[in-house]
Amino acid sequence: MSRADRTAGQTPTGHRPRGRALATFVDHVGPNGVVVRLESRHHRKHHRPAIGSTWWAPASPGWWIAVLFAVGSLLFALGSIPGYADAVGARADTITYFVGSLFFTSASFLCYRETVDSASPAQNPRHRRFFTYQPGRIDWWSTAVQLIGTVYFNVSTGLAMADNLSARAAHQHVWRPDAIGSVCFLVASALAWYEVCHGWLAWRPRSWAWWITLANLIGSIAFGISAAAGYINPVTGQVHNIDRANTQTLIGAACFLVGAVLLLTERTEDTQQ
């Protein structure tokens, strides 16, 4: 499927579901009246010209999204490496996860703003609302749910730093937010995958977006398995399978790191293809 579809007509600019409940395309009318239909992700990522190079562009929000996700992924991977907690101590390990979750939240917030701002790029930034409700857009749902998930990770990893938590408190305030955050990540990644594929299945190996969303979907599945393995018994306080939880967290973080690095290449890809 091509990235842009040009047809004649006077279709107003806006997201069009094309028979689906959530839009995966956006239509633009050029000065000559030609309608340009773009994939919603491509429109969102390239509605402004790329700034800087692939690897260094601190003036670009898209660059910061990739870098922040990459740093958060590295910290989660570091925290789950076998022997790291023994080397630095349990508290330092939980701090590593908490700081990583803050990077995830920062990147997710920029993703959300990128989505909202792409809906009205000509609008004065001073008049843009901080939060908006755009339920007809699949990218709005994906980025909003992802942002909520990162906040739950903030809560989970932040409270995990507390000393002498009771078994019930650890279950309710550490494991439960982690599980909810993992579900949010899985839902957000599935929606992002659907957006790129325009359905649940597609084979698009020449698309950076396809590889990015695939890596993130696999990473979210791994995080979900990690949350299940990390179940904390509210009576005994025992973790169901700490080794599997750490292994799956490491796999998930590695996948997210791959996706973050590929975001850099997607940001500066040839928009004329």
For residue 5, how many other CB atoms are within 10 A of its CB? 13
The whole-chain average pLDDT of the chain stands at 87
**37 phi and psi angles, rounded to 5 deg:** -100, 120
Give 127's pLDDT tier (boundaries 50, 70, 90): low
Question: Position 264: which residue type?
Answer: L
Q: If we measure between CA atoms, which residue out of 117, 138, 145 comes closest to residue 40?
A: 138
Residue 254 makes CB contacts below 8 A (sequence gap 6+) with 73, 77, 219
pLDDT of residue 13: 41
Position 64 pLDDT exceeds 80: yes
For residue 112, how many other CB atoms are within 10 A of its CB? 21
Position 8 pLDDT exceeds 50: no
DSSP for 221-243, written as a single string: HHHHHHHHHTPBPTTT--BS-HH
pLDDT of residue 22: 74
| Tens of pLDDT, residues 17-41 | 344 457 788 776 666 767 677 788 8
What's the CA gap between 45 and 267, in Å, rounded?
7
Position 7 pLDDT exceeds 60: no
Q: If we measure between CA atoms, which residue out of 273, 270, 267, 272 comes closest to residue 53?
A: 267
Average pLDDT over residues 226-252: 97
Strand, helix or coil at 14?
strand
Angle between helices 176-197 and 208-229 (to 10 degrees): 160
| Tens of pLDDT, residues 203-238 | 999 999 999 999 999 999 999 999 999 999 999 999
DSSP for 104-136, written as a single string: HHHHHHHHHHHHHHHTSTTS-GGG--SS---TT
What's the CA gap between 260 and 262, in Å, rounded?
5
Lowest mean pLDDT among 6-15, 188-197, 245-254, 260-269: 6-15
pTM across the whole model: 0.86
pLDDT of residue 110: 96
| Tens of pLDDT, residues 164-201 | 899 999 999 999 999 999 999 999 999 999 999 999 99
State whether the Cα torsion 197-198-200-203 is positive or negative: negative
Position 1 pLDDT exceeds 70: no
Percent of the chain with pLDDT over 90: 70
What's the CA gap between 259 and 252, in Å, rounded?
11
